[in-house]
Amino acid sequence: MRDRNQLWDPASPGVMRLPSGRLVRGRGLVLPLPAGPRPEFAVYLLDHEPPTVQWVARWVRWEDFGLPADDTDTLERLREALERSGEQRVELACLGGRGRTGTALACLTALDGVPAEDAVGYVREHYSTLAVETTEQEEYVRGFAG
């Protein structure tokens, strides 16, 4: 495993520490790319094809304020993100960086060991108080991979 110091700076905007200690970054694609190192892997949560980037990226089709179009695909992409986050800079992003990104981060948190019913609270505490925007998104996290 790479030295964690070569991954994300925990003080950088959008960077969240998972319970395992792994660092992931959430962000909004409408904002400029933050200064510092670039992602090495990303999952983009959008209702349209994401922009081309210089790192490995996966697309999860996901309507704004909605839920992912394919639960199996979402689970596979988030498992890949979790696995890669041990040795690579991983980011999850939607347009605004709150609803879909927060929901995906909460699902990632559940995959990392937080009980699904506590995952939204974890993300709101450690990422953004505005994360996970709808009741349906909260319910999705509670039922994720269960």
- What's the pLDDT tens digit per position in 68-105? 999 999 999 999 999 999 999 999 999 999 999 999 99
Could you tell me the residue range of the domain that residue 36 belongs to? 4-142
What are the φ and ψ backbone dihedral angles of 79, each rounded to 5 degrees? -65, -40
Residue 142 has pLDDT above 90, yes or no: yes
Residue 2 has pLDDT above 70, yes or no: no
pLDDT on residue 45: 98
CA distances from 134 to 18, 21, 22, 36, 91 (A): 22, 28, 27, 32, 22
- What's the pLDDT tens digit per position in 46-74? 999 999 999 999 999 999 999 999 999 99
Q: Which of 12, 145, 19 is nearest to 91 (CA)?
A: 12
Residue 4 has pLDDT above 60, yes or no: no
pLDDT-derived band at 3 (thresholds 50, 70, 90) equals: low
CATH number for the domain that contains residue 130? 3.90.190.10
pLDDT-derived band at 146 (thresholds 50, 70, 90) equals: low
Can you tell me the distance from the alpha carbon of 8 to that of 23, in angstroms, rounded to the nearest whole number? Answer: 6
pLDDT on residue 34: 92
- What's the pLDDT tens digit per position in 32-51? 999 999 999 999 999 999 99
DSSP for the chain, written as a single string: ---GGGS--TTSTTEEE-TTS-EEEEEETTSPPPSSPPPSEEEEEESSPPPP-SSEEEEEEB-TTS-BS-HHHHHHHHHHHHHHTTTS-EEEEESSSSHHHHHHHHHHHHHTTS-HHHHHHHHHHHT-TT---SHHHHHHHHTTT-
pLDDT-derived band at 1 (thresholds 50, 70, 90) equals: very low
pLDDT on residue 144: 87
> What's the total number of domains in the chain?
1
Check: pTM over 0.85? Answer yes or no: yes
Can you tell me the distance from the alpha carbon of 115 to that of 139, in angstroms, rounded to the nearest whole number? Answer: 13
- CA angle at residue 33 from 18 to 132, to 5 degrees? 45
Q: What is the dihedral of CA 37, 113, 81, 23, to 10 degrees?
A: 0
